[in-house]
Chain A
């Protein structure tokens, strides 16, 4: 469900997916490399930033008073090798479009977030992860090269082998090293467009973590949805879904003729009329109860479509509107293995704060990558959507301290409120990132509200 795009430059207020803290910027649609150079030339003191489909929750794709480049108009497929699965694309193409074009040809995106409405440029800049992180790593690990337009107006083709420092500063670098123009992505071969899914319902957090620790390696894709509202003994009751792509011979006979059939469509869209406070403890509790009850206790080898398994929320357009005009934040953090107590403590504090979290998602990460600001690292990651309410700022500041003390960190693509000092302590390679940025962009032309807030 891409946003409406502009025909020409205009000053407009921009927000992230959480719809908080809007700031105006001159938004310019990009159709070629020169549009980026023009913005650089015209840039005043407030800098330039690329923006994709704006699925970052906070201020990552905003640049108050400066230039913002709408990359969603720069989205061609330049080359596709259907034997190797290597595709060369312009950075504004969405994962949705890649799936629509290449799933019928037998290739799936190497990594997808919980939404397919992200651009390739954004997927690299946030170094997104998905349900297969424990086996496949994050998105940038499947990028063979990328073309980066830096502050000097030059285009550099960087890769893990050619200017590795710039590549790994750009992967997860939130658009602050330059504008990603093109990339080569290694797609993943599939025999069918169906996923073989196993579902397990677990009564509490301990049971869930035990199950994940013991058997996660048997599955390619894995994620758990947790009830964060229920307190006490049943805290952390959850529904775990895990799967792998089906082989053609596993499909029902009538589907085997067209095993790669794929369609993605938004079935309904949420109107922009939700009053503040619509999502409260009562409505969220009721939803969580229903959702837990409706999941099977244990189910094996169920066939699901790509949208149903990977992107259930994409079926509802603009679902961020249900949080009302005050918007919402997502708190996503990771703690290393062995720090499960810290994660449990964080969940207890959220549950006892009376703050309704509609969605809580738990995943077990595999190894990290050399990305200097890349989020995933071995351990557990928990993501919670929380509507903006009084006292939330203090609660989340306290959770930051807890996460930091446990050796964990928060995810920039979801962040809209962490403190600069706290963030710097969470990412031990931040000085390496700053050094690369000082080399390729000494004047800090590429900047964002997030960069200013976190003094990156």
Chain B
């Protein structure tokens, strides 16, 4: 249960090897020990994340999750819930994709759409169903400013994030009154393993800053957070920039 002061008893990381997911768990662990379920594919990276979280004081449970397998979400949530209520679930998996390759490879577009949109939407549906029954819980979904106004340089990725942003925003509204809520997180450029080798965009941020925003957002019951906070103002401006000009912006 999330207690009166917003402390969390159990955390499910869907895409548990993502830098933001792991940083979020470590941020919670800095306050109190808690139960953390790491849901990801069985890789050495998953084992390493689990070991680090255990060393930081978490009671860690590892669960298989594969975004390419349609049966995986339901199984994953059932296994995670077997150990007790899920207080907060962070849906943090996704891929950036290579825009150049995507432009020439329809199969790659389909694959990215499956991983970045179809799978998180299925996971959100299963989580919502489960949390509605348990009468409480917070789903944290990683969207992106890239979904706010797609750019030519990464519009396939941006379109999947636009979809997932719409999905989770609507899901949150549909859950009003059930005790369950949804926090949509819209980070800018995050320096992480997903963006390794890319140049920083303006207002670049870190997984730790995103984790901080997630923890604060869950505690205060917010529905949307931007990271950094200034992104909200920037994107609100960019949204109204005429198309001809937007296309020429160096972003």
Residues of A within 8 A of B (CB): 13, 18, 20-25, 44-46, 58-59, 63-66, 327, 329, 388, 392-394, 396-397, 416-417, 419-421, 449, 452-453, 455
Chain A CB within 10 A, most for which of B132, B134, B135: B135
**Complex contact B1–A24 (CB within 8 A):** no
> A397 vs B1: C-alpha distance in the bound complex, in angstroms?
16
**8 Å CB contact of B4 from A20, A46, A419, A452:** A20
**8 Å CB contact of B133 from A22, A23, A46:** A46
Instruction: Classify the interface of chain A: helix, strand, loop or mixed.
Output: loop
**Complex contact A417–B3 (CB within 8 A):** yes
24 intermolecular pairs with C-beta atoms under 8 Å apart: A13-B179, A20-B4, A20-B5, A21-B3, A24-B179, A46-B134, A59-B3, A59-B4, A64-B1, A64-B85, A64-B179, A65-B136, A65-B179, A393-B6, A393-B31, A416-B5, A417-B4, A419-B32, A419-B33, A449-B1, A452-B84, A452-B85, A453-B3, A455-B84
**Complex contact A21–B31 (CB within 8 A):** no
**Complex contact A65–B134 (CB within 8 A):** yes
**8 Å CB contact of A18 from B4, B134, B135:** B4
> A417 vs B5: C-alpha distance in the bound complex, in angstroms?
7
**Complex contact B4–A329 (CB within 8 A):** yes
For A388, the chain B residues whose CB sits under 8 A away are 4-5
A23-B179, A24-B179, A419-B32 in contact; A64/B3 too (CB < 8 A)?
no
Give, as a whole number of angstroms, the nearest-CB distance from B29 to chain A. 13
Residues of B111-158 contacting chain A, CB below 8 A: 132-136
Give, as a whole number of angstroms, the nearest-CB distance from B57 to chain A. 11
Give, as a whole number of angstroms, the nearest-CB distance from B212 to chain A. 13
Beta-carbon nearest neighbor of A24 in chain B: B179
Please name the 5 residue pairs, one residue from A and one from B, whose CB atoms are nearest each other, closest first. Answer: A65-B135, A64-B135, A416-B4, A20-B4, A393-B5
> A443 vs B32: C-alpha distance in the bound complex, in angstroms?
29
Q: How many residues of B contact A (CB 8 A)?
A: 21
Chain A CB within 10 A, most for which of B4, B7, B9: B4
Give, as a whole number of angstroms, the nearest-CB distance from A452 to chain B. 5
Residues of B1-35 contacting chain A, CB below 8 A: 1-7, 9, 31-33
A452-B84, A452-B85 in contact; A58/B4 too (CB < 8 A)?
yes
For B132, the chain A residues whose CB sits under 8 A away are 65
**Complex contact A392–B5 (CB within 8 A):** yes
With A64-B136, A64-B179, A396-B5 given, can you name 10 additional A-B contacts, CB distance below 8 Å? A21-B4, A22-B179, A23-B136, A329-B5, A397-B31, A417-B4, A419-B33, A420-B9, A449-B136, A453-B3
> A58 vs B3: C-alpha distance in the bound complex, in angstroms?
9
For A63, the chain B residues whose CB sits under 8 A away are 135
> A161 vs B179: C-alpha distance in the bound complex, in angstroms?
43
Residues of B within 8 A of A (CB): 1-7, 9, 31-33, 84-85, 132-136, 177-179
Give, as a whole number of angstroms, the nearest-CB distance from B4 to chain A. 3
Beta-carbon nearest neighbor of A453 in chain B: B1
For B1, the chain A residues whose CB sits under 8 A away are 21, 59, 64, 449, 452-453
For A416, the chain B residues whose CB sits under 8 A away are 3-5
> A397 vs B33: C-alpha distance in the bound complex, in angstroms?
11
> A44 vs B135: C-alpha distance in the bound complex, in angstroms?
12
> A44 vs B134: C-alpha distance in the bound complex, in angstroms?
10
For A23, the chain B residues whose CB sits under 8 A away are 135-136, 179
Give, as a whole number of angstroms, the nearest-CB distance from A63 to chain B. 8
> A30 vs B33: C-alpha distance in the bound complex, in angstroms?
39
**Complex contact A393–B133 (CB within 8 A):** no
> A25 vs B3: C-alpha distance in the bound complex, in angstroms?
17
Chain A CB within 10 A, most for which of B5, B6, B85, B134: B5
**Complex contact B4–A24 (CB within 8 A):** no
For B2, the chain A residues whose CB sits under 8 A away are 21
> A436 vs B7: C-alpha distance in the bound complex, in angstroms?
30
**Complex contact B9–A453 (CB within 8 A):** yes
Beta-carbon nearest neighbor of B6 in chain A: A393
Give, as a whole number of angstroms, the nearest-CB distance from B54 to chain A. 16
Give, as a whole number of angstroms, the nearest-CB distance from B24 to chain A. 17
**Complex contact A417–B135 (CB within 8 A):** no
A64-B179, A421-B33 in contact; A327/B134 too (CB < 8 A)?
no
**8 Å CB contact of A24 from B5, B84, B135:** B135
